Amino acid sequence: MAKKAPAKKGTVAAARSGKSGSSGNFGRTLWENVKSLAGTVALFLILRTFFVEAYRIPSGSMIPTMLVGDWLFVNKLRFGPNIPFTNVNLPGYAEPLRGDVVVFVSPYQADNGDEPTPILVKRLIGMPGDTIYGREGVVYINGQAQRQGFASADQTPGDGAMVVPNFDWQKPLGLKNTRFGSAPEQPSVDTWGPLVVPPAHFWMMGDNRYDSKDSRFWGFVPRGNVRGRPLFVYYSYVPQESSDRPVSFITDIRWGRLGHMIR
């Protein structure tokens, strides 16, 4: 019987070398994929933190400007992006102006459960130094009556005389015996102020005044709380509780709202 020829050392070495090279290629490929994924995640976080972020409208406080079920892109660079986990804002290229729709961190709301400082979107009504007040549902700024929000003409007024404990913060700040009159003993939804907006603060209100928990309830918004300005609606659907179609986020899309600019 013929004996097997002994394997040559060179052949064994070549085989081992080939196996080692395969492992090395796999490791390099894995590392390259990890670096690519990490870079993508880092780019996403940078864009989300400093430039643009998505935001969902959860309530009807800004009807008809924004509807429940609207998804918006928010320009964070405009007013200066916030450095995460700090109270520091980087410089922006513009300052908030009266009439702007603004996304901001709410002042503390003790009655808001597990989220006492939610992210909100309202319209900027009062600027620093303004004397602002409400009489019978009409807002006055420095004595000049303002348009009744941006709400639709068929908006149903709520209970303008409604009084809640949230309004009590106004009492020590309400002005007395001014040319605009005196603050009421008990502020209500329709009748409050006059109040002076402090430096570096704003007065925010919802367009849907009778369905909006806003500055009347929790006070002035510090400039440092401002997070951005909505750009446009990129997706919108009728919420399930208001729709007669199943899976409404797919079957009841508001196609006419897509691309709607926020003003």
Q: Residue 56: is its pLDDT beyond 80? A: yes
What's at 87, amino acid-wise? N
- At 230 the pLDDT is 96
Out of 80-89, 92-101, 178-187, least confident range: 80-89
**Among the listed residues 49, 77, 106, 116, the one whose alpha carbon sits nearest the alpha carbon of residue 228:** 77
Which tokens in the block code for residue 36?
């690519």
Q: How do residues 227-239 score in pLDDT, each as one tens digit?
A: 999 999 999 999 9
- At 196 the pLDDT is 97
Question: How far apart, in whole angstroms, are the C-alpha atoms of residue 37 and residue 49?
Answer: 18
Instruction: Compare 241 and 20 and report the one with higher pLDDT.
Output: 241
CATH T-level assignment (fold) for domain 54-257: Umud Fragment, subunit A (2.10.109)
What are the counts of helices (DSSP H) followed by strands (DSSP E) for the chain?
A: 3, 11
Q: In the chain, where are the structural domains located? A: 14-50, 54-257
Q: CA torsion angle for 62, 67, 72, 74 (degrees, to 10)?
A: 0
Counting residues of the chain whose pLDDT is more than 90, the rounded percentage is 60
Mean pLDDT of the chain: 85
Q: Which residue has the tokens 């901001």?
A: 104
The SS3 of residue 70 is strand
Which H helix or E strand runs over 25?
A: helix 9-50
Q: How do residues 127-141 score in pLDDT, each as one tens digit?
A: 999 999 999 889 999
pTM: 0.80
Burial 120-138, CB ≥16 within 10 A → b, else e: bbbbbbbbeebbbbbbeee
Most confident of 58-62, 75-79, 196-200: 196-200
